[in-house]
């Protein structure tokens, strides 16, 4: 084998190694149940995204279960409570039922009220995620990223809003808490009709109550600035009933945002706005850019305006491809130089 052939073979091998290392960067989702009762998580993949290994499953207390999701996957997770299923897996749930009549949701979304975790995994870029209360609340939930680079902040709602829920929003004996949109159905609360623009859709006294209790969660349709988070090449843990946030999420317990007293129309002046369907393409009572609500869709590329400008972190997971790329470039330069001299 002459020097030129050897150099070419080495370059091809290095290229394949580089591509292989990047192609294996799928994320894992781990669901943890710290509630003192069983939770039945539901999973809905966005249109165009493959379904994961399950669309719904039983998660007993003090247990966990993990799934792999490919790069570019987008969808949502939620926890169903008060479920009753027979031996064949047929039944229903008291809150956040997906209407399939089975443990598996089979492509159906949560029936409000439901606490939602929404994700779009980046294709070679950032992941976007949020926890939304736009469709109401049924169980406490936090999302934590690990092994990634970037902001990677924890988000969610650790407060039991069922205990604080106003009577007009309460479901049953405090089983869940409706959104004002679901409870009253008026355009002012649903950010629909004449109220579907940034100038006319404003937070209500009810969404401000949600925001005060859970400052990092979506409280209404366009609550983007403080509610959408990013990370790159991370794995994620979704915890139900997080009794004590981990050290990483300790900063989550930030001072809640100050509630603005409502004006004569019952709306505050926080200035957030939005319509019923968001950038991820979900329709219904959506949450702004990530699009909380029923349905499915695809995420738009322009998401820069949502993001908080926070400090960057370190990541061994994302550093490895960078180191490999640097070594690849150096090796390619060296071998090409040798080939040029030889020829």
Q: What's the rounded Cα separation, in Å, for the pair 233 and 329?
A: 22
- Any idea which architecture 27-313 has in CATH? Sandwich (2.60)
Tell me which residue of 68, 65, 53 sits closest to 104, measured CA to CA. Answer: 53
Tell me which residue of 246, 72, 38 sits closest to 146, measured CA to CA. Answer: 246
Q: What's the rounded Cα separation, in Å, for the pair 301 and 61?
A: 38
Residue 16's region, left for phi above 0, alpha for psi from -120 to 50, else beta, is: alpha
220 with 274: CB under 8 angstroms?
Answer: yes
Q: What's the rounded Cα separation, in Å, for the pair 122 and 124?
A: 6
At 266-306, the pLDDT tens digits run 333 223 233 333 333 333 333 443 444 333 333 322 332 22
Helices first, then strands: H and E counts in the chain: 6, 14
Q: What is the DSSP string of 164-176?
A: H--TTTEETTTTE
Neighbours of 224 (CB within 10 A): 23
pTM of the entire predicted model: 0.69
Which residues, listed in sequence order, are joined to residue 237 by a DSSP beta bridge? 30, 144
At 224-254, the pLDDT tens digits run 888 999 999 999 999 999 974 443 333 343 3
Q: What's the rounded Cα separation, in Å, for the pair 140 and 162?
A: 9
Q: What's the rounded Cα separation, in Å, for the pair 65 and 82?
A: 20
Q: Report domain extents, the chain.
A: 27-313
Q: What does each of the 343 residues of the chain score in pLDDT, given as a tens digit? A: 554 444 445 444 443 333 333 344 589 999 999 999 999 999 999 999 999 999 999 999 999 999 999 989 999 999 999 999 999 989 999 999 999 999 999 999 999 999 999 999 986 689 999 999 999 999 999 999 999 999 899 999 999 999 999 999 999 999 999 999 999 999 999 999 999 987 888 999 999 999 999 999 999 888 888 899 999 999 999 999 997 444 333 334 333 333 333 333 333 322 323 333 333 333 333 344 344 433 333 332 233 222 222 222 233 333 333 333 344 445 555 554 554 455 5
Q: What's the rounded Cα separation, in Å, for the pair 266 and 338?
A: 75
């Amino acid at each position: 084998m002459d020097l030129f052939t050897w150099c070419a073979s080495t370059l091809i091998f290095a290229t394949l190694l580089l591509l292989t290392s990047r192609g294996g960067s799928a994320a894992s989702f781990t669901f943890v149940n710290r509630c003192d009762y069983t939770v039945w998580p539901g999973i809905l993949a966005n249109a165009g995204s493959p379904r994961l290994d399950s669309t719904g499953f039983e998660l007993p207390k003090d247990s966990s279960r993990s799934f792999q999701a490919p790069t570019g996957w987008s969808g949502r997770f939620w926890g169903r409570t008060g479920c009753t299923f027979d031996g064949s897996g047929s039944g229903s749930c008291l809150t956040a039922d997906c209407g399939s009549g089975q443990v598996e949701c089979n492509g159906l979304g949560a029936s409000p009220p439901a606490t939602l975790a929404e994700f779009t995994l980046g294709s070679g870029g950032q992941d976007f995620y949020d926890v939304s209360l736009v469709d109401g609340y049924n169980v406490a939930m936090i999302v934590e990223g690990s092994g990634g680079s970037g902001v990677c902040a924890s988000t969610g709602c650790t407060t039991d809003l069922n205990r604080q829920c106003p009577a007009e929003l309460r479901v049953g004996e405090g089983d869940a808490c409706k959104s004002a949109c679901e409870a009253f159905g008026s355009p002012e609360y649903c950010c629909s009709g004449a109220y579907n623009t940034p100038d006319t859709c404003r937070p209500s006294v009810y969404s401000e109550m949600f925001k005060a209790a859970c400052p990092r969660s979506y409280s209404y349709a366009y609550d983007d600035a403080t509610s959408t988070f990013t990370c790159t090449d991370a794995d994620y843990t979704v915890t139900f009933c997080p009794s004590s946030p981990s050290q990483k999420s300790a900063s989550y317990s930030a001072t809640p945002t100050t509630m603005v007293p409502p004006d004569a129309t019952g709306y505050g002046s926080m200035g957030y706005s939005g319509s019923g369907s968001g950038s991820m393409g979900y329709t219904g009572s959506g949450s702004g850019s990530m699009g909380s609500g029923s349905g499915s869709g695809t995420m738009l590329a322009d998401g820069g305006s949502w993001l908080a400008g926070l400090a960057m972190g370190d990541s061994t997971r994302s550093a490895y491809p960078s180191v490999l790329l640097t070594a690849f470039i150096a090796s390619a330069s060296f071998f090409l130089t040798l080939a040029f001299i030889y020829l």
